[in-house]
Amino acid sequence: MWDLDAPEPELRRGEALVRPTVMGVCSMDVGVAGGLVPFSGVMGHEFVGVVERIADGGYKELVGARVVGSMSVACGACDMCRKGLSAHCRVRTVLGLSGRDGCFADRVCVPVRNLHVVPAGVSDEEGVFAELVGAALHTRHIFKVEGRPFVTVLGDGKLGLLVVQVMAKLNASVRLLGKHAGRLALCDRWGIKHRMVEEVGLRHDQDVVIDCTGTAQGLELAMQMVRPRGKIILKGPAWGTRAAGVQMCVGFGAVRAGVREGVDLSPLVAHEIELIGSRCGSVPEALGAIATKQIDVLPLISKRGKLAEGVEMLRLAGAGELKVVMAA
């Protein structure tokens, strides 16, 4: 549904009313629009906006501030939250994806604790990448770099292009493999090696393979590229057809995205490969990395539009645009 005349949302305790200025279209939104992610309500979770009001009059210094919101709203009380693993809160809601209206609207309600002030040197369009950059940065916390390992990032979508920039900062030999010459060419500006995936030999010689394709083929390739006792890191959601029995799922909260089906997992056993799932990271860390120019995000924007053209923008995002952003 696309309701541009929806009533102003009702603020609950601890929440701020935010007026989005720039919004990003994410593949999860495309999943919602396509019926692959079961959600009804206002879509969207990537935004930079201005705080208009705080529910109980607190946090006055935030009113008028330019903010991004982290998408997951945790309860703060369950066993996961008490362990400091609020990203895995048992009853979390997610902006525009699960149990909570999102940001593709004139106004959005976000808990104050989910808001992060955007540094002055970061533009609205850059800030919109905070969630994705956080997810990319999270990858470097997953394994310890020892002795200049060979790292392959698979997939030249948004996440692959961000993850490879993160990896390139480490003491590692890093390359990006993809299928789109134009996207791979972005690596030239960052001084990162890249190849078309079909040109690469499958030699079980990579220490770490980070699969950002979200596809069964990506995982199969990763298993053929990684060395015995190496690591495969699975990033990002993806949509699979579910005709045959589902072999493996990458969970995304309440929804089951990232279906990679019909994959023969025996190489994991034969080569004693470690398979690790990785999702979101820290929004403040992401804003810091963008502000200090460690990560270059603007070249990823392939289409700019307006919220009022949202239906068309979603269609374009689903039709292969690298990154679609919408102004209010």
| Interacting residues with Zn ion (CB under 5 A) | 26, 74-75, 78, 81, 89
Query: Of 74 and 300, which has the nearer Cβ to Zn ion?
Result: 74
Class of residue 204 by CB neighbours under 10 A (exposed 0-12, middle 13-18, buried 19+): middle
- Residue 76 Cβ, how far from Zn ion at the closest point, in Å? 6
**1: how many CB neighbours lie within 10 A of its CB?**
7
Strands 303-306 and 324-327: parallel
Query: Of 36 and 273, which has the nearer Cβ to Zn ion?
Result: 36
Please name the helix (run of DSSP H) or strand (run of DSSP E) that holds residue 32, with its range, or none: helix 27-33
Closest CA to 127 of 324, 307, 290: 290
As a whole number of angstroms, the distance between CA 282 and CA 323 comes to 21
Q: Which two tokens stand for residue 117?
A: 């002030």
Query: Of 91 and 270, which has the nearer Cβ to Zn ion?
Result: 91
- Residue 71 Cβ, how far from Zn ion at the closest point, in Å? 7
Type of residue numbered 185 = A
Query: Of 149 and 305, which has the nearer Cβ to Zn ion?
Result: 305
Query: Of 109 and 325, which has the nearer Cβ to Zn ion?
Result: 325
Taking CB positions, which residue lies at the least distance from Zn ion? 26
Are residues 212 and 154 in contact, defined by beta-carbon separation less than 8 angstroms?
A: yes
